[in-house]
A and B are shown apart, each in its own frame.
Chain A
Amino acid sequence: MEDIHQRISEIRSDFPFFSQEGKFKDWVYLDTAATSQKPNRVINAELEFYQQFNANIHRGLYEISEAATAAYEKAREQISEFLGSQDSDEIIFTRGATESINLIAQSWGGLNLQEGDEILVTNLEHHANIVPWQMVSAKTDAQLNVIPIDDQGNLDMQYAMDAIRGGKVKCMALVHVSNALGVTVEVAPLIQAAKEQGIFVLIDGSQAVTHFPVNVTKLGCDAYVFSGHKIFGPTGIGILWAKRKVLEEIPPYQGGGDMIRSVDFEGTTYAEIPAKFEAGTPHIAGAVALGEAIEYVNEVGFDAIATIDQWLFGRAAEIVESIDGLKRIGNTLDQVGVVSFYSDQIHPSDLATFLSTDKIAVRTGHHCAEPLMKRLGIPGTVRVSLGIYNNAEDLDRLEKSLRSAVTFLS
């Protein structure tokens, strides 16, 4: 790759947030794991849809509706290809990863789980991959089994393998990359072992798809989910990929228009997939813009993304490790995009407030992963999360502000 800083500078110029003249001019944005900034082409795709193509999809027998439908379905194809799916009907548009997991928990779990069954999750999970399973457990009397982690966030693989082969686990729902720590879970051997036992496998890829290529066919899981807004797309649009067989077997999640073949008061015949899971008018412009975001990622390329990620992570980790009193969580080798740390003396909220006065946006607290924080024995962390648009100056400003904060607050 050409000079990395030159490449970051080119990428950064694609994101109007960083060249704005508005209230948040000159801010350092280090909260990409919460939501990414959006490139011009994504913003323009949504704008163009509303300005030129806006009509409801499917069923409209006029050219605008046909064009809107084509744009929406093209996005489905783009995402299918991006995930390495062989069949674009396996892509369901949802509101986000949270809704995707709820759909699977309610529809697959409601149909397949019963008393005594276990749902295997990790101690790293976001609440979105805990609470939906607790809700279906309450209805089915299944229960959660949690794979423990060590102090650095590494999974106890032996525990996981023993649980998988123990005969009780019916479903395994794993995070691919931890939103709170950036730890990457080695999902491939776990999926392989689980499939040998006939266990249903869902992977939460919300933090993964921005950083490395994912191929659901090669992974061999049954379902994979992510949110559009974390991969440079709009909020309110997300993806559920699941195997055709799964989607055909499980009941619809919501009822309404567009998900039916015929309705009368005696009964309803559901539509084929994917329409069966897309009741009501979907976020059409959001889907179209998400397709554009995927094209953007393809254009930047995962080789360049990996190089930039590695540099950003290394520099951010180095800053945190060089400041007395700050403790970084995780091993360098298997982390991506997130540098999470804490201080025994300074509360994370106080550090974040201090950074905010220097126009630096980071996130603090439990990062929607309270069980993880309890396991680590801390109330929360300060999380610096990095995007391919963050440059050396962003991290220099972080370093300067963090050093002042620690001196001031200690």
Chain B
Amino acid sequence: MTDPEILKDIVLSHYKQPKNKQNLAKSDNVFRAKNPNCGDLYAFAIESDAGMLNITHDTQGCAAAVASSSILTEMLNGLSSEGALKFVRSFRDTFLNGRPLPEDTSVELEALHFFKQSPARVLCVDIAWETVENALVRPS
């Protein structure tokens, strides 16, 4: 178990300087979602080059929403569609169903698990993963 202060710092750094974030106004294949509780907006553009995914996002929201979107892109970029889908399903299964974290879990994913302490914030993290899961199972 990593020191909670380190996990907080990871979330904050992804929130303040999110990775793979850009304006998606001109992108094709954008998948959007809205958190019904607070109105936060999630957006992901999914491209594939030589079988490898390149996901960018433009999520506007709280630290959990932005950090989750940022970490998601870091975890999935470079994977195949099938590999990414497997990764997303595995993360959601652990995150939503309260299963213990596997030993080899990256510290970034562990940081997202930090939000499980507050049931209301679980959704903030999960919407990003749910949106991308739905996008990956849907043929574009």
Contacts and interface: CB of A to CB of B under 8 A. Distances in A.
Given A347-B62, A347-B63, A353 B121 contact: yes
Contact of B38 (A356, A366, A408, A409): A366
B78 to A, nearest CB: 30
A356 B117 CA distance: 11
A219 interface: no
Nearest to A408: B12
B64 A366 contact: no
Interface in A336-370: 347-350, 353, 356, 364-366, 370
Contacts of A364: 38
A109 interface: no
Contact of A370 (B12, B39, B40, B124): B39
Contacts of B40: 347, 349, 379
Per DSSP, chain A at the interface is: helix
Interface string B31-71: 00000011110000000000000000000011110000000
A349 B39 contact: no
B7 to A, nearest CB: 13
Contacts of A373: 39
B106 interface: no
A379 B124 CA distance: 14
B38 A379 contact: yes
A356 B62 CA distance: 15
Given A366-B38, A379-B40, A350 B62 contact: yes
Contacts of A349: 38, 40, 61-64, 121, 124
B47 to A, nearest CB: 28
Contacts of A365: 37-39
Contacts of B12: 408-409
Nearest to B15: A350
Given A356-B118, A409-B12, A350 B39 contact: no
A96 interface: no
B75 to A, nearest CB: 22
Q: Looking at chain A, what size class is its interface with the partner chain?
A: 10 to 19
A380 B39 contact: yes
Contacts of A347: 40, 61-63
Interface residues of B, number: 13
Interface in A371-410: 373, 379-380, 408-409
Contacts of A370: 39
Contacts of B124: 349
A353 B64 CA distance: 10
A267 to B, nearest CB: 44
Nearest to B39: A379
A381 to B, nearest CB: 11
A65 B38 CA distance: 47
A366 B39 contact: yes
B63 A348 contact: no
A356 B120 CA distance: 12
Interface string B5-41: 0000000100100000000000000000000011110
Interface in B96-140: 118, 121, 124
A126 to B, nearest CB: 16
A93 B113 CA distance: 45
A41 B63 CA distance: 43
B39 A409 contact: no
A370 B62 CA distance: 17
Nearest to A373: B39
A231 B138 CA distance: 50
Contacts of A409: 12, 63
Contacts of B15: 350
B118 A353 contact: yes
Contact of A348 (B38, B64, B118, B121): B38
A279 to B, nearest CB: 32
28 contacts: A347-B40, A347-B61, A347-B63, A348-B38, A349-B38, A349-B61, A349-B62, A349-B63, A349-B64, A349-B124, A350-B15, A350-B62, A353-B118, A353-B121, A356-B118, A364-B38, A365-B37, A365-B38, A365-B39, A366-B38, A366-B39, A373-B39, A379-B38, A379-B61, A380-B39, A408-B12, A409-B12, A409-B63
Interface of A: 347-350, 353, 356, 364-366, 370, 373, 379-380, 408-409
